[in-house]
Structure 1
Amino acid sequence: MKSILFLLAALSLSTALAHTEVTAIVPAANATVAAPKTITVTLSEPVNLRFSTFRVLRIGAGQTPTQAAAQALAAKADMPTLASLPTKAAGLAATVRVPLKAALPAGPYVIAWTLLSDDGHPVSGFSAFTVK
């Protein structure tokens, strides 16, 4: 009986300590698509959008997606180099829609994010796609 209680406690604790994850992105990673109007990011749980950042940036020549993601997250939301438009999102959401500038030029882009997980830990990542 004690072993069952221990197992249940361990499972509960591991679930409580899990970080928020990105479960889906549109356009999908490494996809080649016509210029989208929005990016959709689906998360494993709702996050407070006040403490979340989502940016889209064209990957420059000679630049890696990792470098472009860092540049995108360091940029202010209204920087003209970003492909994403500034938003004033608030509240909780498990699905985030990031509006993009009209008629993105062909080329590679990175979607970068940083958010505060429900357990208080920051989570960041990126995904790349190409506009044809």
Structure 2
Amino acid sequence: MKRLLLLALLALPGAALAHTAVTSVVPARGAVVQAPTAVTLNFSEPVELRFSTVRVMAVAAGQTPEAAAKLALAARPETPTLVSRPPTTAGLAARLSVPLKAGLKPGLYVVAWRLLSEDGHPVSGLSTFRVR
């Protein structure tokens, strides 16, 4: 009987069990680009932007992207090491564009995010791009 209940739960539509996901990031993961003016994230479903954090910062020499992402998410929005500016969009959105400071120097950058999924679960991740 327990096994039948478990199978029935697994047969429910995926949306009931799924968390929000970042479906794409521009610049794309691993891309080598001229200094962008913004980073855009697309989500699998709308997220409440006031409970979401997206930060961009340069990855220092000898630092891993994961360590840089952790620092970026812990930093205050006005921290000088961040190259992202606070987004001006609020409310629910399935896409978020984060403006960047002008004149990014050549090097590796990390895009770090922490979102609150519609079902209440936190979702975090990162992507990287390189400025030539």
The normalised TM-score by structure 2 is 0.90
Once the two structures are aligned, what percentage of the paired residues are identical? 57
| 5+ residue gaps, structure 2 | 1-5
Superposition RMSD on alpha carbons, in Å? 1.6
- The equivalent residue for 2:107 is 107
- The equivalent residue for 1:117 is 117
| 5+ residue gaps, structure 1 | 1-5
SS of residue matched to 1:15: helix
SS of residue matched to 2:63: coil
Q: CA deviation at 1:88?
A: 4.5
- The equivalent residue for 2:3 is none
Question: Once the two structures are superposed, what CA deviation does each residue of 1:1-46 show, in whole Å capped at 9, x if it has no partner?
Answer: xxxxx97764335421200001010000000000000000000000
How many angstroms apart in 2 are the aligned matches of 1:46 and 1:80? 30
- The equivalent residue for 1:69 is 69
Equivalent residue pairs, number = 127
Summarize the alignment of residues 35-114 of structure 1 with structure 2, pairs less than 5 Å apart.
Answer: 35-114=35-114
Moved over 6 A (4+): none
SS of residue matched to 1:68: helix
Question: Once the two structures are superposed, what CA deviation does each residue of 1:69-124 show, in whole Å capped at 9, x if it has no partner?
Answer: 00000001111110101234320001000000001000000000000001100000
SS of residue matched to 1:12: coil
